[in-house]
Amino acid sequence: MSEAIPNFSEMHVDEPVLDELTEQYNELYLALDNAGSAQDQIDVLQRWDQLRRRIDTWGALTSLRFYQDTADPECKAARERMDELSPKLQNLAVELKKRLLNSPYRSELEARFGQQAFAIWEADARTFDPAIEEDLVEESKLTARYTELRSSAKLEYKGETYNLSSIARFASDPDRSVRHETSQLRWQFFKDHADEFDEIYDQLVKVRTRMAHKLGYDNYVGLGYDRMYRIDYDQGDVDTFRKEVERVVVPVARALREQQRRALGLDKLMAWDEGIRDPEGNPKPGGDSTWMKEQAAKMYAELHPELDGFFTLMRKRDLLDLDVRENKAGGGFCTGFPLYGAPYIFANFNGTKHDVTVLTHEMGHAFQVYSSDDQPLMDYLWPTMESCEIHSMSLEYLTFPWMELFFGDDAARFRRHHLGDNLLFLPYGVAVDHFQHLVYENPDATPAERRQFWQQMEARYLPDRDYGDLPHVDEGGLWQGQLHIYEVPFYYIDYTLAESCALQFWAQSEEDFADALERYVELCKRGGSLPFKALATSAGLRSPFEAGCLEAVVERARPALLLEESP
Ligand code: ZN
């Protein structure tokens, strides 16, 4: 199969034309309606799958080429045409999904393709109705306003101008006053625009609640869960998980902060000190992206034959874009071209340890989607969001034994920081999730009440955090800097659920590395054919919703983090 994958520069799909697509869909609807047997419908489904692979590949290429050169007017225009076309495409697809959901051959189709696709299509059908089209447009305008407001930040510091992303580099500056001053600048921007941040969020909560009511939900929580495809767990499960994090992880996080305070020689660890773990600063990789690819190639060659073959293919077909360039968009992600069965990794290396993590993380996503290419439906190429991150985050741990290739003598320190940072993330992650439940269960709360909700979350999950004299955050405004809360409601617990699975892979790999790795590779092949809990348990992991799931991991982590015995 890999021989058939062309070089990236040769990948091209003609832009779809709405009229032609509508005609193709109409033919598919008709063929489904007229099907005389389950097999007839299976044939139609397979034709639809080919059509979707082509459209998806066009979409992925169009977005990617725009991100690679945001100043190219042709790429930009193509991207705009795509944005206009996509709600119409969604509509065409939902109509077809509804036919499959109501098919007289549904049980045969489920036997052939599995139930997960039907569960996903049901969620699509529940969350979309022409009655909410205007609300959807309003929602996306509001999230665009939030993005614009954030991007308008011009923070002057020592004669240079920074935005909210670039100022973040000072969070790990060894000079404490630099960390403090830049934190003040950051949060002063939020304080100066507090009314607008409040107003945008207030309107988002209102429009989302309105959509929920129109679609027959009590409030936005249920709609939010459906939009995130929470298939085999519910609010009660998530609540149990948050309590486990509070009970098991918060004490370790407090011990880690105390360790950090001592390492930095401070009387009190303040919010602006949290980004620097020890006075030596963060470990740095020993070379540029070309060097990193060489190291990664050595690593994958030793790690696993399938990962080795895959990484070789990614390099040969030019499917890695790692360097910063003028007009290239920021960030790092993995995308896929299902027509070719090939993924693509996009990143912006900046010379920090983050480069190693990004490359490994995105390789996890890429290897998963590549491994899932034999799945019978497009819907199974990627799992739902919380499951997607299992593959990326777990590979970060499964490559731990090779970190000497990147960091030399600093590798042990890198591993310790990485493990510690991820444990420290869990309480924050569940705070973001719990907060959103409070917000959408109380849609009439005022902005001041929402700030109180957030302060309750901080008292519970981040009890040692001290904002000192930082503006805005001292009044419960920190969440306004977390873009997921505005842009993708309830998309956050996903990182903590996946991390809980990845940490289990880490703990298991310390016991029997080969076995853990083999189960990881097999999990990647299952793609999105199962919902989250089923995928986790299929890989020999415990569901994060089970009480006690995090205890074994934390017990193993304590000595690895050089923490004293449990109190
Ligand atoms: Zn990811």
For 107-161, how does the pLDDT look when each residue is reduced to its tens digit (9 = 90+)?
999 999 999 999 999 999 999 888 898 898 899 889 989 988 998 899 999 999 9
What is the distance in A from the centroid of ligand 1 to the CA of 359?
A: 11
What is the distance in A from the centroid of ligand 1 to the CA of 270?
A: 29
Q: Which residues surround ligand 1, an ion (CB under 5 A)?
A: 392
Distances (CA, A) of 59 to 29, 90, 103, 344: 23, 13, 29, 13
What is the distance in A from the centroid of ligand 1 to the CA of 273?
A: 26
For 194-219, how does the pLDDT look when each residue is reduced to its tens digit (9 = 90+)?
999 999 999 999 999 999 999 999 99
What is the distance in A from the centroid of ligand 1 to the CA of 348?
A: 15
For 352-379, how does the pLDDT look when each residue is reduced to its tens digit (9 = 90+)?
899 999 999 999 999 999 999 999 999 9
What is the distance in A from the centroid of ligand 1 to the CA of 44?
A: 33
Can you list the residues of the chain whose pLDDT is less than 70?
1-3, 564-567
- C-alpha 274, offset from chain centre: 23
Give the pLDDT confidence score for residue 130 in this predicted structure.
Answer: 83
Give the pLDDT confidence score for residue 1 in this predicted structure.
Answer: 47
Give the pLDDT confidence score for residue 368 in this predicted structure.
Answer: 98
What is the distance in A from the centroid of ligand 1 to the CA of 130?
A: 32
Give the pLDDT confidence score for residue 566 in this predicted structure.
Answer: 45
What own/partner pairs with CB < 8 Å and gap ≥ 24 does 435-442 have?
435/479, 435/485, 436/224, 436/485, 436/489, 436/490, 436/492, 437/221, 437/235, 439/205, 440/205, 440/208, 440/209, 440/219, 440/220, 440/221, 440/224, 440/489, 441/219, 441/221
For 459-476, how does the pLDDT look when each residue is reduced to its tens digit (9 = 90+)?
999 999 999 999 999 999
What is the distance in A from the centroid of ligand 1 to the CA of 358?
A: 9
What is the distance in A from the centroid of ligand 1 to the CA of 324?
A: 19
Least Cα distance to 85 among 9, 15, 144, 24 occurs for: 15
Give the pLDDT confidence score for residue 147 in this predicted structure.
Answer: 86
What is the distance in A from the centroid of ligand 1 to the CA of 362?
A: 6
Give the pLDDT confidence score for residue 565 in this predicted structure.
Answer: 53
pTM summary value? 0.95
What is the distance in A from the centroid of ligand 1 to the CA of 345?
A: 11
Mean pLDDT, all residues of the chain = 95
What is the distance in A from the centroid of ligand 1 to the CA of 218?
A: 32
